[in-house]
Structure formats: C-alpha cells, structure tokens
C-alpha cells in the first residue's frame, strides 16, 4: 500500500510505503501509522501523538537515577584501560580480561575522548537522568552537561555533572563534543535540531549521533515487529542516506559511521512476533543467544546492523 505524505527529511511526497506499528515496550498495543520514503529511505511516523506522556511513564529506563561509583575491581580495570587508551590509541587486546567491565559504547567513547582534554565541554542531549555523563565523570572529565526536557527538575550531582530540564533550542553555550545517544530519533524536527546543534558546537568540535537505522537486516526481516521501531516514541528511523541528506543541509559532514548493533535486534524482535511486550521475560536457549551475538557482529562488519553511531564535523553553511 502506498500513500502520499511529505517526508520531513527530503520533502518527497510520492510513493511512500505504509507500515502499521504497535507500542510494545509496555504492551499498550496502540497502533501508529509510519511511512517509509522511497527517496531517502527514512521511516517516519505519519502523525505524532498530541500527548506522549502515556508512553514515557516514570519507569521509562532513561529516567532512572544512575548508580554511584563502583567497586575496586572496576576502578582498577578503568585505570588500566584509560592508561592504555591514552598511551597506545586504545590497543586493548592485551587487557581483554578487563573488558567485561565495559560496554562497547564506553570503549568507543574512550577512543573519541582520548583526544580531548579533561576540561573541554561535553554536552549530552536527551540524557535522561544522566547515567552516561556520570560514567564519563569517573574517567576524570570535568565539564559535563546534559539536557532533557522530560526530566522532572534540574539535577546537580556531587561529581559536578549538571542535568538541565531543557530542549535543544533553550540551551546556550558552546561545546567541544555534543552527543545524542538514542535520542535523535525522538526529536520531532530533525532539521531544526541539527541547525540548533550547529550553533552550539565549536567549529572544531565533534557531534556523535547514535540511532537505530532502518536500512538494516533487522528491519527487512521483521518490518513492523522490529523492536527498534519503538512506536510511537521513535519518530524517525533513519538510513545512512537520510542522515547524509540531513548533515549536508545543516552544515555537517559525516566523517565516520560505526555500527554497534547487538543481539537484541533479533531477540527482542522475536518477542514482538510472539506478541510479548518488551518488559516481559522470554526464555532463550544459550545456544540461540550465542548465535544471535555472532550474527550481530557479522551484521556490524557488513554495515547491515540495526544501529550505529554517526561521527559528524561542522562545515561552513
């Protein structure tokens, strides 16, 4: 089925493929219409609900307060990894036994942050309660700010991390690194968001945008049961083509794309195929989970995973 909507990325109005998706994180099963643009490939919601509060309850994961720091074993692992990252460009194979203490995101961020001084300004947009910034503060970085319009109040942690109840267009100041970790897809106006980010990013700064992508094996296999569609919270499920279009038209260039999809693209999507909500348990055999982990690594290598990080730099508008 096709119908004419206007794509908010490339303005195309012809030949969109319609996709009917359900809210399945909390199991409301409310239905929402999405359409996939045949020009830029972006999968996007046809109409954003007027009231989203139902879909962001208090137990939504990003609102949870992060734990305070960690045990001695973790600190030892952190010290070893950080020293190695700074001295040897994150050549960490010899420290493999310690890597279980770190997520792939943390290792990736260390590879970026090794070129930053501890006093340079870092902004996390859509940070929730600020768990990732709290982690970065443990690494010794001092100038850390997060913004999120959906938190109840501003938060100031003893570490010095500031979390402000703000939207992008309400934020002032300049930053050397701006990050959006699975928040960009929640923004209703991506062009305006990038325009505002361009203003607050220093000229030699770096912009990281981590998002699910619909030009992926998982979307092709599961379609409306792809768990990262996450209706109606995700407004835009981008492709590398739609992100290139956004970047070019808002003063950015994509310098790198790092795929970091996980086994959950299979495990959680299989839940939805069985009409099981995300927060409910589903048992998987250890063999099956290992196969899914192996598949995720292969898909990342083939640039066909269902999420990635876009590394962007500013250009002249």
**Lookup: tokens for 102:** 């770190």
Q: How many other CB atoms are there within 10 angstroms of residue 9's CB atom?
A: 23
Whole-number pLDDT of residue 223 = 98
By C-alpha distance, which of 250, 246, 281 is closest to 267? 281
Measure Cα distances from 125 to 163, 178, 186, 303 in Å: 10, 7, 11, 26
Whole-number pLDDT of residue 70 = 54
Whole-number pLDDT of residue 114 = 81
By C-alpha distance, which of 96, 66, 57 is closest to 80? 96
DSSP of 158-203: TTS-EEE---GGG--S-EEEEEEES-GGG-S-HHHHHHHHHHHEEE
Residue with tokens 């934020």: 171
DSSP of 209-227: EEEEBSSSHHHHHHGGG-G
Whole-number pLDDT of residue 88 = 52
Q: What share of the chain is helix, strand, coil (3-state, %, to 5)?
A: 35, 25, 40
Whole-number pLDDT of residue 57 = 84
Burial of residue 210 (number of CB atoms within 10 Å: 0-12, 13-18, 19+)? buried
Whole-number pLDDT of residue 62 = 62
**Lookup: tokens for 41:** 């490939």
Separate counts of helices (H) and strands (E) for the chain: 8, 13
Assign residue 274 a region: left if phi > 0, alpha if psi is -120 to 50, beta otherwise?
alpha
Residue 304 CB partners (closer than 8 Å, separation 6+): 216, 217, 259
- DSSP lists the bridge partners of residue 254 as 312
Ranges of the chain whose pLDDT falls below 70: 1-3, 61-101, 317
Whole-number pLDDT of residue 103 = 79
H or E stretch covering 81: helix 72-88
Structural contact between residues 18 and 47, judged by C-beta atoms closer than 8 angstroms: no
Whole-number pLDDT of residue 187 = 97
Structural contact between residues 185 and 237, judged by C-beta atoms closer than 8 angstroms: yes
- In angstroms, rounded to a whole number, what is the distance separating the alpha carbons of residues 137 and 263? 29
Whole-number pLDDT of residue 166 = 95
What single DSSP character describes residue 14? Answer: S
Whole-number pLDDT of residue 86 = 52
């Amino acid at each position: 089925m096709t119908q004419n909507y206007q794509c908010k990325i490339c303005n195309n109005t012809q030949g969109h493929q319609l996709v009917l998706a359900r809210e399945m994180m909390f199991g409301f099963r409310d239905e929402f219409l999405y359409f996939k643009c045949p020009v830029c490939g972006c999968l996007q919601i046809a109409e954003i609900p007027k009231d989203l509060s139902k879909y962001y309850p208090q137990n939504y994961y990003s609102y949870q307060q992060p734990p305070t720091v960690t045990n001695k074993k973790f600190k030892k692992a952190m010290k070893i990894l950080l020293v190695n990252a700074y001295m040897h460009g994150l050549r960490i194979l010899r420290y493999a036994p310690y890597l279980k203490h770190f997520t792939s995101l943390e290792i990736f961020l260390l590879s970026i942050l090794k070129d930053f001084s501890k006093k340079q300004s870092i902004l996390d947009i859509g940070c929730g309660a600020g768990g990732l910034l709290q982690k970065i503060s443990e690494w010794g970085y001092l100038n850390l700010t997060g913004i999120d319009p959906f938190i109840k109040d501003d938060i100031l942690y003893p570490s010095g991390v500031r979390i402000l109840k703000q939207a992008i267009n309400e934020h002032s100041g300049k930053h050397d690194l701006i990050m959006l970790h699975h928040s960009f897809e929640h923004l209703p106006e991506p062009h305006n968001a990038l325009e505002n980010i361009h203003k607050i990013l220093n000229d030699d700064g770096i912009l990281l945008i981590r998002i699910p992508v619909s030009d992926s094996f998982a979307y092709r296999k599961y379609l409306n049961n792809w768990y990262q569609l996450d209706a109606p919270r995700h407004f835009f499920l981008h492709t590398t083509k739609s992100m290139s279009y956004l970047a070019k038209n808002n003063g950015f260039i994509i310098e790198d794309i790092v795929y970091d999809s996980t086994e959950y693209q299979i495990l959680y999507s299989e839940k939805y195929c069985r009409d099981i909500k995300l927060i409910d348990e589903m048992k998987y055999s250890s063999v099956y989970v290992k196969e899914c982990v192996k598949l995720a690594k292969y898909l990342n290598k083939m640039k066909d995973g269902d999420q990635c990080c876009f590394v962007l730099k500013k250009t002249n508008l």
